């Protein structure tokens, strides 16, 4: 379907598909009012909306939360990030969904403790998106001041539309990819899950 179209048409298709998720469009609109530096709505709420529309499910089906990344390396304290999170809780009050806000300039401070591998400091929100466990997840959208959409998709959109989950072994360990893949395939059994490099037993 969309995955075989030229990129310009894929981008038009992406906006059309994502706009069918009213929670997502509300999150985008409200996030734009926060004035966060280098922000994107990213991860599952985007590609899973596409999966839902492509497989004729309700647009918000199976979406756990809505992730907002921003980048502010002026203050790496938890207190500064927490202040942003608390403002966000007020802005997103009343939404029928969980919204998570994270400063990607701080990821290296907690990543190894959570995932067991060290993480070099990211230099931007885009660099953080580049490090997701699957290339299919490397997708970010934000609203420009003129109301247009900025889309960051370093690996393109074909896998997203074609329901292909492809590993991205640049940071996250294999077990993170495989756990996510198993959880998502249980919800979207149409997914094609490609194996982690070096594995031949699937």
The encoded tokens of residue 78 equal 């938890």
- The fraction of the chain above a pLDDT of 90, given in percent, is 85
Q: What is the mean pLDDT of residues 11-27?
A: 93
Q: How far apart are CA 200 and CA 191, in angstroms?
A: 18
Q: Band the pLDDT of 198: cuts 50, 70, 90.
A: confident
> In Å, how far are 46, 100, 101 from 172, measured between CA atoms?
20, 19, 20
Residue 108: phi and psi, rounded to 5, are -65, -15
Radius of gyration of the chain (CA): 17
pLDDT, tens digit, 9 for 90 and up, residues 54-67:
999 999 999 999 99
**Cβ atoms of residues 27 and 97 within 8 Å:** yes
Q: Where are the domains of the chain?
A: 2-193
pLDDT, tens digit, 9 for 90 and up, residues 138-151:
999 999 988 889 99
Residue 37: phi and psi, rounded to 5, are -75, 135
């Amino acid at each position: 379907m969309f995955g075989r179209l030229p990129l310009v048409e894929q981008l038009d298709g992406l906006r059309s598909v994502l706009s069918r998720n009213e929670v997502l469009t509300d999150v985008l609109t409200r996030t734009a009012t926060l004035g966060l530096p280098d922000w994107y709505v990213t991860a599952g709420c985007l590609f899973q909306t596409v999966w839902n529309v492509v497989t004729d499910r309700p647009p918000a089906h199976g979406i756990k939360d809505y992730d907002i990344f921003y980048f502010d390396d002026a203050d790496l304290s938890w207190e500064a990030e927490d202040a942003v999170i608390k403002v966000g809780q007020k802005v997103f009050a009343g939404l029928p969904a969980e919204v998570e806000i994270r400063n990607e300039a701080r990821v290296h401070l907690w990543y190894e403790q959570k995932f067991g591998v060290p993480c070099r400091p990211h230099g931007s929100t885009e660099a953080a998106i580049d490090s997701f466990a699957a290339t299919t997840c490397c997708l970010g959208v934000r609203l420009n001041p003129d109301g247009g959409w900025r889309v960051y998709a370093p690996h393109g959109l074909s896998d997203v539309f074609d329901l292909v989950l492809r590993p991205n072994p640049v940071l996250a360990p294999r077990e993170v990819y495989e756990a996510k893949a198993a959880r998502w395939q249980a919800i979207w059994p149409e997914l094609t899950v490609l194996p982690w490099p070096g594995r031949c037993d699937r």
